[in-house]
Amino acid sequence: MLAQFQMVGRVLFEQQLVSSHSGNLSVRQGEGLVITHRGSRLGSLKQGDLVETGIARNNRATPFASSELAVHRCIYKNSSALAIVHAHPPYAIALSFTEDTIMPCDMEGRFVLPRVLIVGKEIMAKPGELGEEIAEALRQDRVVVVKGHGSFAVGQLLEEAYYYTTVLEQSCRVLYLLKALRVNLPE
């Protein structure tokens, strides 16, 4: 399992989808979950950077879990997700300030993520907030963006959630470039 966390964390960092100490990953294990340690560096995870805790219950390790633990728990309680990637993709975050929904216009984006909801429109959410709203959006979609903060993607594997994160960011880059070129976006 460590190798899976390391691979996804490293590529998220290398692709600048997280900064040195941002973002988090988790995998569901029955009534528990494994999540990255609070403040861990996804680009160079070690065994001590993984925290095992309950979905509904705390244990001794809980205080060391990511500050987004409450959101991960809420997603697992309300969906069939087995893995979550929370990243800070810059183009998606930029668009979250100007859009209510991201509608990819590139072929892969339209096929994989026909729409991406932006939640937390009225407030700038703090880590661990908006869990119910994020979980509700992820019951219908594979990825959601929290305004000004970042994305949460779900899958059956970390690699699948990572894939949705990269499709989101690539689509947002295309949208950003089209807006900069003042191209009328397709409906």
Report the alpha-carbon distance of residue 117 to residue 103 in Å, rounded.
Answer: 9
Of residues 75, 100, 91, the one with CA closest to residue 152: 75
State the average pLDDT over residues 89-97. Answer: 96
* Distance from C-alpha of 50 to C-alpha of 53, rounded to nearest angstrom: 10
Q: What's the pLDDT score for residue 117?
A: 96
Spell out the domain ranges in the chain.
2-180
pLDDT given for residue 129 in this prediction: 74
135 — alpha (psi -120 to 50), left (phi > 0) or beta?
alpha
DSSP helix/strand/coil, 165:
helix
Compute the average pLDDT of residues 101-122. 93
Please tell me which residue, 125 or 15, carries the higher pLDDT value: 15
Tell me: pLDDT of 122 over 90.
Answer: no
Structure tokens at 139: 């019951």
Q: Which amino acid type is present at position 43?
A: G
pLDDT digits (tens, 9 = 90+) for 29-88: 999 999 999 999 999 999 999 999 999 999 999 999 999 999 999 999 999 999 999 999
pTM value? Answer: 0.93
What pLDDT, on the 0 to 100 scale, is given for residue 182? 85
**pLDDT of 172 over the 80 cut:** yes
Mean pLDDT in the chain?
93
pLDDT at 123: 63
* Inter-axis angle of helices 69-77 and 131-138, nearest 10: 40
Query: 3, 152 in Cβ contact below 8 A?
Result: no
Classify domain 2-180 at the CATH topology level. Answer: L-fuculose-1-phosphate Aldolase (3.40.225)
d(C-alpha 160, C-alpha 181), whole Å: 32
Residue 123, classed as helix, strand or coil, is coil
